[in-house]
């Protein structure tokens, strides 16, 4: 052990009480920073995973689409297939899927007096970028298969009623009620919806959905669906709303393709259109989901999502591009960002105060140790050696604070995980409290206290090092 390290260690032992107090304060600050960060990461992950079930990394929509339309009312993109191929060609490593979406309502209760809503997400059951995620999140039933009645070969019945003057045109219908022999479309529903409406939602149950067939929800078709599976993504809010259906089923419901046959006009009421053969156009959709290649370093996922947006925007300048983060911000406001800023701010204030405390403690140590500093210089110690004695103490405080903080945080995470604490979530559901550790923040929790201690220690250390030996000896004698 070098002389400076030996003397630094002796100083630490002598001032163990005051150093321990500083270490505990910094360690607790770091532990709380790590815990809050890990908890926010967990919540972000819960929301992101769910949001990404719907949106992947980014979504291309029509230029008129707003972020709030992404839950089912996007305007149709007629050449979605062409755009998807273009993105895959121009951006190597990017994967695309065409999504068809719709808003739907269904009756609740014995007499269907109440209604609830859901968002239908039509997915390509083989190639959609979210297929694997949905499969992994299934908690009951099964995923779609080719044997499911995905297409019927005709449109459901709609009746368009042209509203007089100020009323919107509406469509209602009950096509499948007229043709009971039609098998119901398969759907996968969020487990949270089953908890909210257990009498009508469950694996194997059938129900009627009133599906919005136009972008802004003025046309509806009535279709019968059968629930084949329940999924649980971790966010009950979204689980309760988002239902999955094969994309071709939804194309058929929304008449995406060439409709053959004719419609009937009933004077004074409107027009009937239904039971006409339809040739589904697979290139039509409401949004194009884009999955970007994972970044090399995920230190700044929001920044990376912006890069993804810019890359896609260069390929499709006439369309809108939303990232998963847009949806998170839309869903939760900038709350997460605000909490993150507050967290960093409070940590910064505490650390600055700790920095002052370290400087103050070392200043007072130096004043009391003048005679020793003078003696060491008399024995041949160079300025650098004196500087090192105090810097080693700074490194020690920083490293121990960082490691203790990290250890405390891990301990609390393990205990919380072991106990399995749950908190109330929406609709009587419960969400388990969890943590997702970001290794970048762990590195910060180690580097920051060390940097802070070094900076705080360097000022008194330099002052001590620069003291002329005779001055240190004289002041030391005065301090006795």
Smallest CA-to-CA distance from 250 within 144, 327, 330, 177 is with 144
Please say which residue, 373 or 446, places its beta carbon nearer to other proteins: 373
> 364-383: which residues touch other proteins (CB under 8 A)?
371-372, 374-383
Q: Which stretch binds other proteins (CB under 8 A): 7-15, 237-245, 294-302, 456-464?
A: 7-15
Closer residue to other proteins in complex, CB, 197/377: 377
User: Does position 480 bind other proteins by CB under 8 A?
Assistant: yes
Measured from the CB of residue 465, what is the shortest distance to other proteins in angstroms? 11
Q: Cβ 473 to other proteins, closest distance in Å?
A: 7
DSSP-derived secondary structure for 127-183: T-TTHHHHHHTEEEE----TTS----SBPPPEEEE---TTSPPEEE--HHHH-TTSP
Question: Residues binding other proteins: what is the number (CB under 8 A)?
Answer: 26
Structure tokens given for 411: 């301990």
3-state secondary structure of 97: strand
Does 7 sit near other proteins (CB under 8 A)? Answer: yes
Q: By CB under 8 A, name the one of 170, 203, 385, 437 that touches other proteins.
A: 385
Q: Which residues pair with 225 in a beta bridge?
A: 185, 207
Is 258 or 477 the residue whose CB approaches other proteins more closely?
477
Q: Is residue 85 within a helix (H) or strand (E), and if so which, with residue range?
A: helix 80-90
Question: Please, are residues 91 and 312 in contact by the beta-carbon 8 Å criterion?
Answer: yes
Chain CA centroid to CA 127, Å: 23
Closer by beta carbon to other proteins, 333 or else 468: 468
**Residues 256-275 close enough to bind other proteins by CB under 8 A:** none
Taking the alpha carbons at both ends of the chain, their separation in whole angstroms is: 30
CB of 375 to other proteins, least distance (A): 4
Site for other proteins in 445-474 (CB under 8 A): 468-470, 473
87 binds other proteins (CB under 8 A): no
Which of 280, 376 has the CB closer to other proteins? 376
Of 220 and 390, nearer to other proteins (C-beta) is 390
- Asked if 240 and 194 count as a contact pair (C-beta separation under 8 A), the reply is no
Backbone angles phi, psi at 457, to 5 degrees: -80, -25
The least CB distance from residue 357 to other proteins, in Å, is: 23
User: How near is the Cβ of 374 to other proteins at its closest, in Å?
Assistant: 8
CB atoms under 10 Å from CB of 154, counted, come to 18
CB atoms within 10 A of CB 321: 22
Q: Does residue 439 belong to the site contacting other proteins (CB under 8 A)? A: no
Give 407's contacts (C-beta < 8 A, 6+ positions apart): none
Which residue's CB is nearer to other proteins, number 175 or number 476?
476
Phi and psi angles of residue 387, each rounded to the nearest 5 degrees, phi first: -60, -45
**Between 45 and 375, CB nearer to other proteins:** 375
Distance CA 402, CA 354 (A): 13
**Is residue 10 a contact point for other proteins (CB under 8 A)?**
yes
Q: Does 205 bind other proteins (CB under 8 A)?
A: no
Residues that bind other proteins (CB under 8 A): 3, 6-7, 10, 13-14, 371-372, 374-383, 385, 468-470, 473, 476-477, 480
């Amino acid at each position: 052990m070098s002389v400076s390290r030996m003397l630094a260690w002796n100083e630490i032992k002598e001032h163990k009480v005051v150093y321990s107090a500083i270490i505990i304060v910094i360690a607790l600050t770091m532990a709380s920073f790590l815990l809050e960060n890990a908890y926010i990461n967990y919540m972000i992950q819960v929301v992101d995973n769910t949001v990404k079930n719907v949106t992947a990394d980014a979504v291309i929509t029509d230029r008129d689409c707003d972020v709030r339309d992404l839950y089912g009312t996007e305007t149709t993109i007629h050449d979605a297939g062409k755009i998807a191929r273009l993105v895959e060609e121009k951006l190597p490593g990017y994967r695309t899927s065409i999504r068809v979406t719709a808003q739907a309502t269904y009756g609740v209760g014995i007499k269907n007096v109440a209604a609830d809503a859901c968002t239908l997400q039509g997915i390509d059951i083989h190639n959609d970028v979210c297929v694997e995620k949905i499969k992994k999140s299934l908690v009951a039933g099964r995923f779609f298969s080719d044997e499911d009645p995905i297409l019927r070969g005709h449109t459901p019945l709609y009746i368009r009623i042209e509203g007089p003057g100020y009323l919107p045109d509406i469509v209602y219908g009950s096509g499948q009620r007229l043709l009971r022999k039609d098998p119901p479309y398969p759907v996968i529903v969020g487990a949270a919806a089953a908890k909210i409406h257990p009498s009508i939602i469950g694996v194997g149950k059938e129900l009627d959905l009133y599906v919005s067939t136009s972008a802004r929800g003025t046309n509806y078709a009535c279709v019968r669906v059968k629930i084949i599976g329940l999924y649980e993504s971790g966010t009950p809010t979204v689980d309760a709303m988002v239902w999955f259906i094969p994309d071709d089923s939804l194309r058929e419901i929304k008449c995406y393709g060439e409709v053959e046959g004719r419609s009937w006009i009933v004077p004074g009421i409107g027009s009937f259109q239904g039971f006409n053969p339809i040739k589904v156009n697979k290139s039509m959709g409401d949004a194009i989901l884009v999955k970007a290649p994972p970044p090399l370093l995920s230190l700044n996922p929001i920044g990376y999502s912006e890069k993804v947006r810019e890359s896609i925007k260069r390929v499709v300048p006439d369309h809108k591009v939303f990232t998963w983060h847009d949806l998170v911000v839309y869903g939760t406001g900038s709350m997460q960002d605000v909490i993150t800023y507050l967290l960093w701010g409070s940590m910064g204030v505490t650390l600055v105060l700790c920095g002052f405390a370290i400087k103050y403690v070392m200043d007072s140590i130096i004043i009391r140790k003048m005679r020793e500093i003078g003696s060491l210089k008399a024995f041949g110690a160079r300025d650098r050696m004196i500087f090192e004695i105090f810097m080693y103490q700074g490194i020690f405080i920083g490293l121990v604070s960082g490691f203790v903080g990290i250890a405390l945080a891990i301990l609390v995470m393990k205990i919380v995980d072991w106990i399995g604490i749950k908190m109330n979530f929406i609709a009587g559901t419960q969400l388990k409290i969890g943590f997702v550790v970001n290794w970048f923040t762990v590195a910060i929790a180690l580097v920051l206290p060390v940097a802070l201690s070094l900076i705080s220690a360097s000022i008194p250390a330099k002052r001590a090092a620069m003291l002329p030996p005779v001055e240190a000896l004289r002041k030391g004698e005065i301090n006795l």
